[in-house]
Structures are given as C-alpha cells and as structure tokens.
Structure 1
Amino acid sequence: MTMMNKNRFTPRTLHLTPNHVARATRPVEDFAYPSAFTRATDEDYATLVEQLMAERPEGPLHIFAYGSLIWKPTFEPVTKRRAVARGWHRQFCMLIRGHRGTPEAPGLMMALMSGGRCVGLALEVAAGTERQVLEDLCRRELPFVETLADHRWLQLDTVEGPIRGLVFWAGPTGPNIRRSFPLPLAAAQMARACGPRGSTAEYLHNTVRSLEEHGIRDRNLWTLQRLVAEEINTMPLGQVQRVEPSAASQPPVMPVN
C-alpha cells in the first residue's frame, strides 16, 4: 500500500489520555429499545450498492475518511491520500441513545456539517473489490432504511489533483441533529456518555490521535478533546455509574464514522 506524505511535524500530546478514556468507560450491556427505524435488509443494501456503482466516477473508487474510517477501516486501501473537502467541517452533532450512549446519558457522534474545510484521507479501493467494499461500508454506516440516503459524493482536493469520493454522514438532518452546540456543552455530555460499544470519549481520543499521526490538525476537535479531559478531571473517581436504559427511550441515530 502506498502511504500518503505527512506534514513534517511531531504529533502533539493529547490532553485526553487513555487514563481519561478508562475513567469515562464502564460496562453497559447491550439493550433493546423501541425504535421508529426499520433495519435495512439484504435487498436494500444490494439496491444501494448498485446505485453507488452506477454513480461512481470513472477510475479508482475513493472513500473519504474523516473519522473512524481512518483508525478502523473496513478494508485495506490501495493508497491513502491526504484530501480536503471544501465547504465541510467535522462536528459532533448527532445525538445517540445507543452504541456509545444510553437513553439517560446520550452520546454525540461526528458528522460533516456545511462550512469551512475538512482535511481527511482519500482511501482508494482495490479494483475488483468495489461491490464488496461498498456493501461492507453501507452495512456499517447505514443500518436503517431511514439512513440509507446519508451518503454523498464530494469533490476532494489532493496534491495529485481533484477527485470525487464517497462520504457518509455529510449534512445529516433530523430531530437528533444538534447544529449549534457550544463545545463546552458538548464536552460535558461526551465526558459522561458510554454505551454498549464504548464511550464517546474513546471515539474522540482515537479520532484526534489518528489525525495527529497522519499530520492532520482539526482545531475544533483539538479544543474539544481538551475540554472533555478537563470535564473528566472534575468528576470524582467512581462518580459515573452504569446507566440502565429506559424502555421508553427515543430511537437513536447510530452512525459509526
């Protein structure tokens, strides 16, 4: 695999450390809750993959990774290239009551929202594996019928020239989206959110650490990880206890990236 060239600087030391992550993490059993969402079927995914294959640009297929696809991809890319999505920025804006949160202590997950610029990685998919990679990604990122449309093709700027790449969760809408959420309030919520798949603090730590390792610096996320660490520091050891889910909870949006 050809690796991207990184900026020549030493990664900074995060304020949000593995120790903070451990303090924010607690065992939460998986739980079922009433959901207004409908699980996507094999037929749904087959239809979506064919649609994406028909829409894809000529040449290699690229996936734009800006979050967990950087540190937990579903496939081995042929190349990783630094890429810029202009007109978009990372934001923890999706309220989740499952996955990395509970109904009583919802978490926040990340998406791309309009405005600014987002530096990430363009992951090139190996020729001949496009359909399988797309199916795996769609099953991971888009679990419900109601979320199948939460993808789009973006123009990405790279040192080799512009390309088009597929991205998930860019410009999501709905009642679970918090468009204007001050970072201190987001940090207070994220410091306490933990669900069956782990804590929101863990997701933030992994994302910022991976961005630093790839020479990518996101100002808002850097500030957010500092605020989350400071928030965890204010909580006495053992203060955050396991939260039992409520049967009357609202349905969550459950993105992964």
Structure 2
Amino acid sequence: MWRPGFPYVELQTARIHGYHRALCVWSWVYRGTQSKPGLVLGLDMGGSCIGRAFRVTAANKIDAVNYLYEREMVTAVYVPTFVPVRLKSQRQVTALTFVADRAHAQYAGKLRAEEAAEAVLQGCGRSGDNTDYIANTVQHLDELEIRDRLLHRVDAIVRSG
C-alpha cells in the first residue's frame, strides 16, 4: 500500500468487500525469520477494507505483476486473487490482491494486540525491523484517514515497549 515498487499512472483510494486488513501473516523473510518471526499484513476473509488501487499502463502490466509475484509469493503464504474494487471515483474495476492462505504454516490467525506487538518487537528480516513496517503502515493509514484499531493499538504498544 505504501511501497508499490512498480511504476503506475494513477492511484486511488479503493474499497474491497469480502476481505479485511489483518496482521495475520508470520514473516519469515522480510520482517523476521523462521526462528524469530515478525508479523505482517494480509487480506483475510470477511468484512471490507479500504486501501489503494494502482493503475498501470498496458505496457507495464506484465512487469508489475511479475514484480508483485516475486515479492509477495516468496513463501507462497498468499493466494493471488482478482477481486472487484470500488474506487473513490465510484468506478468499479478488477484488481490483483494477495489473500492470506489460512492453510499455510505462516498464517497467524487472529491475534490479540499484545501477542502481535510481541512478534513485531522481535521481528527483523531482509527488509529491516518489523517495528518500522508497522510504523510506516500506520503513518500511511493515518494519511488516508483510515483508522485500524488493532494496528494502531499494536503500534502504540510497540512504541511504548
């Protein structure tokens, strides 16, 4: 959401239904290791989610998708899923998302804020400290005026501990 990693021509706030943002994936590569996993976001079943939709040119579509697959599917914890998305402009489009695979060993399920914060505080991986990931995510959600109670609570615990 805050680090697309590919060129895009348009960015809009968007909502999906049927999935919600959740700290539900143990990170074994980017924000932790198998012995000290961090915790990252995934889309999980149920509810709805406000986020960002990136439009790419037809010429960049394959490169963008390949980049996202390489980055997000490093341990196959996600299921690439095309979903209908309602843009802020009220237009509906189809978007590629990555939904947490509940059958995968890295699926953390629903954790209490204290449990999540404990994992975040220990996590450090290829992309850096898990605490930075949480802080950046909360900062960008705040900029979009999106309040995620659990994520904000985890961030508060992490900052105080």
TM-score (norm 2): 0.88
Structure 2 stretches of 5 or more lacking a match? none
Quote how far apart the aligned CAs of 1:114 are: 1.2
Percent of aligned pairs sharing the same letter: 28
Contact 2:72 2:78 (8 Å CA) reproduced:
no
* Match of residue 137 from structure 2: 207
Establish whether residue 156 from structure 1 lines up as the match of residue 85 from structure 2: yes
List structure 1 segments (4+ residues) > 3 angstroms apart after TM superposition.
none
Provide the C-alpha distance between the structure 1 equivalents of 2:54 and 2:126, rounded to a whole number of angstroms. Answer: 29
The structure where strand makes up a greater share of residues is: 2
- The one-letter code matched in structure 2 to 1:142 is M
* Match of residue 175 from structure 1: 105
Q: State which structure, 1 or 2, has the greater radius of gyration over its C-alpha atoms.
A: 1
TM-superposition CA deviations, 1:71-92 (whole Å, max 9, x none): 2112222111110111211111
Provide the C-alpha distance between the structure 2 equivalents of 1:127 and 1:95, rounded to a whole number of angstroms. Answer: 34
Compare relative contact order (CA 8 Å, sep 6+) and give the higher one, 1 or 2.
1
2:47 maps to which of 116, 119, 127: 116
TM-score (norm 1): 0.57
Contact 1:96 1:176 (8 Å CA) reproduced:
yes
Alignment of 1:71-86 (within 5 A): 71-86=2-17
Cα gap change, 1:140 to 1:94, in 2 (>3 Å) = same
Provide the C-alpha distance between the structure 1 equivalents of 2:136 and 2:120, rounded to a whole number of angstroms. Answer: 14
Establish whether residue 129 from structure 1 lines up as the match of residue 60 from structure 2: yes
Provide the C-alpha distance between the structure 1 equivalents of 2:125 and 2:84, rounded to a whole number of angstroms. Answer: 34
* Match of residue 166 from structure 1: 96
Quote how far apart the aligned CAs of 1:151 are: 0.5
